[in-house]
Amino acid sequence: MLLKSKGGLLEFAPPTWRTDSVKPRTKPKTSDKPASPRKVSIARLVPSNEPNIDDEAEERARGGVQSLGRAFSILEEVARHREGIGLADLSKLVGLHNSTTFHLAKTLVSLGYLRQERDSKRYRVGRPLFALAASALDEIEMVNLATPILEDLSRETGESGHFAVRMGDAVVVIARTSGAGAFQLTDRVGVVRPAHCTALGKIMLASLRPDQLKRFLERVELKPSTKKSITDPAVLLREIAEIRRSAIAFDDGEFNAEVRCVAVPVYHFTGEVIGALGISGPIWRMTDQALQNRAKLVHAAANRLSAEFGARDLAKSP
């Protein structure tokens, strides 16, 4: 630093530095040095021996999905055998080793979804599975499943479609759709109809056990709605016997003198009748020939809905 005099005043002169002569006091670290091209290429070619966490997660997921798939296969196969099924036959049908089937079935038994008979050691479906299935078939879910099928049926036939379930000694329509044809019925959802003089109701009566049907006839008065209504128990029993044989019921102006109906049963996962599905139309349009032709479409729609409710081995349309 130099002092210069300027007009009697002292002034500081900044120092001049020579950067070209300054050397760093410390050597650069080894890690700061760029890798040579040869070392970089070698690093890229040598694979890491460390396990990949993502790969392990994917492997565990695949194993879990596989176990779930096997467990559901076992459940489905046991459900197909109402008399129960042994371990050897079950293993053969699901395509698994006996030990694998045993461990999966043991887990399902511990959860209650399967049960094993003490004597025969056969596996059967457990009660929690029925509870799950029953909760899935509440009224709202049944309506959601039935409505699009009824809409298709109404488009195909041009008539009003109905899905009804039993309510005490009567039936209640819980889903309905209108067709494109003129003079459509105006029944609303929730309407209650007598069982003995409607096609939907006669399907439900035909699903009763003999003792249940006997008690029904003892306590219910067969009131006429029209001149064609069946009021004789013996006549009704003969018609119900025919419905059980053919799985189809007709209403020839028995509830409404101007309306004809055809209905067929709808089944659920236990193989029992859960409801009745049918169509209705004016008598001048629903001729005998039209009823027979449209009965096939009604059967096909009922089979679709039964399959949605978990029914298997459905009978083909006549």
Note the pTM of the prediction, 2 decimals. 0.61
- On whether the CB atoms of residues 228 and 196 are closer than 8 A, the answer is no
Are 279 and 153 in contact, with CB atoms under 8 Å apart?
yes
**What is the average pLDDT across 83-87?**
91
Report the distance separating Cα 281 and Cα 300, nearest Å: 19
- For 144, phi then psi, to 5°, come to -60, -40
Across the chain, mean pLDDT equals 81
Share of the chain above pLDDT 70, in %: 74
pLDDT tens track for 285-316: 888 888 888 999 999 999 999 999 888 776 65
Instruction: Look at residue 183 in the predicted model and tell me its pLDDT.
Output: 63
Check pLDDT > 60 for residue 151: yes
Core vs surface per residue 135-167: b (16+ CB within 10 A) or e = eebeeeebeebbbebbebbbebbbbbbbbbbbe
From residue 35, how far is each of 29, 99, 126, 248 by CA, in Å? 13, 56, 67, 85
Is the separation of the CB atoms in 243 and 203 below 8 Å? Answer: yes
Lowest mean pLDDT among 11-15, 196-200, 201-205: 11-15
Give the model's pLDDT for residue 101. 92
Structure tokens at 163: 């899905």
Report DSSP state, residue 125. Answer: E
45 or 62, greater pLDDT:
62
Note the pLDDT of residue 76: 86
Q: Specify whether the CB–CB gap between 146 and 305 falls below 8 A.
A: yes
Residues 6+ apart with CB under 8 A from 137: 268, 274, 309
The pLDDT, as a whole number, for residue 179 is 79
CA atoms within 13 A on the CB side of 140: 2
pLDDT in tens, 237-251: 999 999 999 999 999
pLDDT of residue 315: 60
